[in-house]
Structure 1
């Protein structure tokens, strides 16, 4: 009986097309319906902060170099994930990510909680030549980041673009984006205090690549890596088995 129905369906172009539409509609509903309840599923936290201009630039470099293709930023609720990487990822932690980089591919380890785990010096050495710190690594080298100056002229436009999709950057943040990028990577400069005023006392100020005389793409990428998992401490709250959020580690 079922073979007969299947044969008739395949011989009817209209019927077969309607069957395809019906099947595709089910998949579409399953993916789209949850978006109507997104406000109920994303947590609300008071300590969530924005990416600084330098961190946002580093995120762009992270995407540009395809880092997301080998590293996920999504710790599952599975026990082995939590024991290896830390508290599982919350939706609110990607609240200001456009696009979000959760992913599922793990050629390398998950980076959702990598911020503060290693020093800036370790990350610079790792990016210059991964085998220097992880002998078995198959990750490519990114030596040119240390010698490529960061283009800060585009930072105000980057923040303005983020604001159009809902990230609450203020006019003051947009106007001072380039100055704040420099200030975050020059902790002893006059501009450094302005960064913490605009983005919070928890903002990490550091000579990320070890040099304060210029601002490089290495500064930006390390700044971004060091903030992963540290935009909010929500994942560490009310979790009996969780350790406190690690303090940032500098050179």
Structure 2
């Protein structure tokens, strides 16, 4: 009878429901603050370069995450199709991460290097020309839209405040040199952002238009990086300690 009295009293039911949800949430969240490391230290994972970062911005702004996840689940069928299951460490510099729970198109966690730059550009501009059954819309305007990277330093500084190790001081730069190597540390230094972006765009013909830096350049650079940072050949029986 007491259970029935709670169910017919909407105000009391709401209060008790909120209380149960709050307790459950605290039980799940509070322990995380007492765990020294919630993300494994996996070698090879680095923050995005300025060009990749702008590409990711475009990926998010165009809503690509609505149809493509970046999360390979630890199931045999998933790994046979897409590759090694996703690690939390691979998304540690993502704000927000792109794991997702719905796929209209394939998962993109390991798409980097799977296709050529030319294929990626053509697929983004006119998906049906390569995959006739695709329902993906075309993004041909990215080829004609000049990439705006005038605020790239501000974007990196904003991410730095969330914990992404972009460097501004000599001390931070030196720490990145020790952790990622000099070449990567140079790309992660905020004062080098525009120069680094232009150099990476010029180093490879991402969109087939070497005379200008377009939004297609940035998006293809981002896609070609996905899933390429970690050397999974170092795994033995799936243990993370092979990276230590």
TM-score, normalised with respect to structure 1: 0.81
Partners of 1:86 and 1:140 lie apart in 2 by 26
Contact 1:74 1:88 in 2 (8 A): yes
CA separation of 1:239 and 1:221: change in aligned 2, threshold 3 A: farther
Structure 2 residue 142 is the aligned partner of structure 1 residue 126:
no
Q: Which runs of 5+ in 2 are unaligned?
A: 169-185, 239-244
CA separation of 1:34 and 1:77: change in aligned 2, threshold 3 A: farther
Which of residues 211, 222, 225 is equivalent to 2:223? 225
Instruction: Quote the offset at 1:180 in angstroms.
Output: 1.1
Instruction: Quote the offset at 1:20 in angstroms.
Output: 1.5
Which of residues 210, 213, 218 is equivalent to 2:211? 213
Where do 1:152-191 residues align within 5 Å? 152-171=149-168, 173-187=189-203
Which of residues 47, 51, 59 is equivalent to 1:50? 47
Which of residues 19, 22, 27 is equivalent to 2:19? 22
Where do 1:47-196 residues align within 5 Å? 47-171=44-168, 173-187=189-203
Partners of 1:34 and 1:107 lie apart in 2 by 35
Contact 1:43 1:92 in 2 (8 A): yes
Partners of 1:223 and 1:38 lie apart in 2 by 35
TM-score, normalised with respect to structure 2: 0.83
**Between Structure 1 and Structure 2, how many residues are aligned?**
219
Q: Which runs of 5+ in 1 are unaligned?
A: 188-205, 242-251
Which of residues 3, 7, 10 is equivalent to 2:7? 10
Secondary structure of the structure 2 residue equivalent to 1:41? coil
Partners of 1:89 and 1:157 lie apart in 2 by 30
Instruction: Quote the offset at 1:167 in angstroms.
Output: 0.7
Instruction: Quote the offset at 1:41 in angstroms.
Output: 3.2
CA distances 1:38-91 after superposition (whole Å, capped 9, x unpaired)? 653311023222210000000000000000000000000011001100000001
Partners of 1:38 and 1:65 lie apart in 2 by 36
Superposed CA RMSD: 1.9
Partners of 1:39 and 1:31 lie apart in 2 by 16
Off by >6 Å, runs of 4+ in structure 1: none
Contact 2:82 2:107 in 1 (8 A): yes
